[in-house]
Structure 1
Amino acid sequence: MANQWQQNWDFEFTEEALAEEIAQAEAEAALAEDGPRAKSVQYNRERNLVEVQLQNGAIFAFPPHLVQGLDTATPEQLDDVWLGGNGQSLHWPSLDADFSLPALVQGIFGSRNWMAELGRKGGQKTSTAKHQAARENGKKGGRPKKAKSSRM
C-alpha cells in the first residue's frame, strides 16, 4: 500500500521542503490580511478620477484634487501611475508621490496638516442649500447661546 501511495506523488517528501512550503503559505496568508490590494490602477480623464480595481473585484475611485501632491498635477502626470507593494501602494514617479492603498481607502489623502486644510476648505464652501439653512436658522434667532455652567 505504501508503494502505491508513493507512486501517485511526483515529489520527494523532506522536512526542509515541508518547512519551506509552510513558510511560503504563511507569508501569502499574511499578505492577504494586510488590507485591500489593487489589481490595476488608471487615471480616467473624462471623469477626473483615479480608479483602482481591487483584487476582490471592487472598484475604488477618488478625485486627484483631494490628494496631497496630486492636486496640481496635469492629466499627463496623473496618467503615469503604477502599482507597488504587491498592490498595496500607488506611485506617481513624475510627481514623486507615493500612497498606501489602505490609507486612501480609509480616506487619508495626505498629512495631518493636509487633511485639516481639506476640512477647513470644505467648511468654507457655499451652496444654495447652505444659504437657505442659514436664513432659516436666522429666523429662529440664530445659533443658540451656550448654556452657562453652574459651577460653584
Structure 2
Amino acid sequence: MNRPMTDAELEAPLDAETEAQIDAALANARDHDDEAVALSATFDVRTRMLLLELKTGQRIAIPQEDLQGISDVDPSQLTDVEILGPGTAIHFEKVMEGFLVDSLRAGIYGSQRWMDGLAQRRRERLQRAS
C-alpha cells in the first residue's frame, strides 16, 4: 500500500480467519511465555549452582562452570541474582552478567563458541571416565 490507511480502514472489522489467527498467536505466546518465566533465581555458593524455579513449576540447576561470563568468578560475587522484567531474564548485579531464561531452559549457556567448547570438555570428561 502506497498510502496511509484511512480511519475507516483501520477500524474495519477483521474477517473470521484473521481473528482466529490472531487468537491462536496470542494463545501460543502466552503458553510459551509461561515456560520461560522465572519466579525465583538464586545462586548456591556451596554447590556453585544457579537455581531457577519457573512459572511452570520446573526447577533448573546449572553449574557455575557451564555459564559463560561467570564460570571463573568468585562464587561470593554471584549471590545477588536479580530477575528482570516479567521474569524472562536474570542478572548478576555485582559482575554485570545476564542470561535469558528461555536460553537457560533450552540448555544454552553462552555463545555458540562457548557451547562448542563446553560440549568438547564434556566429551573429554566422558572419555576419561570410561
Aligned-residue offset at 1:94: 2.0
Q: Which residue of 2 aligns with 1:56?
A: 56
User: TM-score, structure 2 length as denominator?
Assistant: 0.69
Between 1:111-120 and 1:49-58, the stretch displaced more is 49-58
Q: Which residue of 2 aligns with 1:37?
A: 37
Larger relative strand fraction: 2
Q: Distance in 2 between matches of 1:85 and 1:32?
A: 17
Q: Distance in 1 between matches of 2:40 and 2:121?
A: 31
Aligned-residue offset at 1:73: 1.3
Following superposition of structure 1 onto structure 2, how do residues 60-79 of structure 1 map, counting pairs within 5 Å? 60-79=60-79
Following superposition of structure 1 onto structure 2, how do residues 1-150 of structure 1 map, counting pairs within 5 Å? 30-31=29-30, 33-34=32-33, 35-125=35-125, 126-127=128-129, 130=130
Aligned-residue offset at 1:120: 1.6
Identity level (%) = 27
Aligned-residue offset at 1:56: 2.5
Residues 76-127 of structure 1 show CA distances to partners (whole Å, capped at 9, x for unaligned) of 2110211012111110122221111111111101000001111122222211
CA RMSD of aligned residues (A): 2.0
SS state at 1:123 partner:
helix
**Structure 1: runs of 5+ lacking an equivalent:** 1-25, 131-152
Aligned-residue offset at 1:65: 0.6
Q: Which residue of 1 aligns with 2:14?
A: none
Q: Which residue of 2 aligns with 1:144?
A: none
User: TM-score, structure 1 length as denominator?
Assistant: 0.60
**What number of residue pairs does the alignment pair up?**
102
Residues 55-74 of structure 1 show CA distances to partners (whole Å, capped at 9, x for unaligned) of 22221111111010110111
2:120 partner letter: R
1:88 partner letter: T
Q: Work out which of the two has the higher radius of gyration on C-alpha atoms and give 1 or 2.
A: 1
Q: Distance in 2 between matches of 1:31 and 1:78?
A: 31
1:42 partner letter: T
Q: Distance in 1 between matches of 2:64 and 2:103?
A: 15
**Structure 2: runs of 5+ lacking an equivalent:** 1-22
